[in-house]
A and B are shown apart, each in its own frame.
Chain A
Amino acid sequence: DAGVIQSPRHEVTEMGQEVTLRCKPISGHDYLFWYRQTMMRGLELLIYFNNNVPIDDSGMPEDRFSAKMPNASFSTLKIQPSEPRDSAVYFCASRHYPWGQTGNTEAFFGQGTRLTVV
């Protein structure tokens, strides 16, 4: 498997524009996570899905952020309208986690999307 694939790798946009980040998880993984990383706040969990269903979106900063997972092989994170403070690296990660599994069920990360809002 090619691993978790994110696109684009870099995005520069103007304030007020809509931004869509994309993620393809590892095949067979049933959990998908979106994280945001900044120097000030570290690696923050924004939202995660189980079998395409959003489970916890309490980390989504505001209504300007939305995420979808229409099928097992694709997810999007959308920011509309974008603001300079949204500038960060956004990571997508996936894992396979059978219920009750106590062993190592690590999350695998994509290469990230570096977003710059000017």
Chain B
Amino acid sequence: QKEVEQNSGPLSVPEGAIASLNCTYSDRGSQSFFWYRQYSGKSPELIMFIYSNGDKEDGRFTAQLNKASQYVSLLIRDSQPSDSATYLCAPKSYSSASKIIFGSGTRLSIRP
């Protein structure tokens, strides 16, 4: 089983709608999570970090963490064409907190 699983997509969402990106993980010791965004031909950049159960909001972005279900999601409200990118999830495990292992990423396309 992979440490981190993401639907590769592409996920196509109309402009203005909510995009929902999901990530499941196998290590129950995972304490927190990074969400990175990667535009085509560019390097990944951090957009959200969440470390407690529940929701964390930052502008149009909301990260949701459910440790019991080993599930983390990223919601993008009022999707814009500029949100079209690949979104990478990475858990931060207590046992191996120093390294960052990424999921394969979900490619998101916002159609006008």
Contacts and interface: CB of A to CB of B under 8 A. Distances in A.
Interface residues of B, number: 20
Contacts of B44: 43, 91, 109
B97 interface: yes
B105 A42 contact: yes
B95 interface: no
Nearest to B103: A42
Contacts, number: 50
SS class, residues of chain B in contact with chain A: loop
Contact of A91 (B31, B43, B101, B104): B43
Contacts of B49: 103-104, 106
B72 to A, nearest CB: 15
A45 B98 contact: no
A45 B43 contact: no
B107 to A, nearest CB: 10
Most interface-central of B49, B88, B99, B101 (chain A CB within 10 A): B99
B46 interface: yes
Interface string B77-110: 0000000000010000000011111111100000
B45 interface: yes
Q: How large is the interface on A (under 10, 10 to 19, 20 to 34, 35 or more residues)?
A: 20 to 34
Contacts of A48: 98-99
22 contacts: A31-B98, A35-B102, A42-B102, A42-B105, A43-B88, A43-B105, A45-B99, A45-B100, A45-B101, A55-B98, A91-B43, A91-B44, A95-B100, A97-B97, A97-B98, A102-B31, A102-B32, A103-B49, A107-B100, A109-B45, A110-B43, A112-B43
Interface of A: 31, 33, 35, 41-43, 45, 48, 50, 55-56, 91, 93, 95, 97, 102-104, 106-107, 109-112
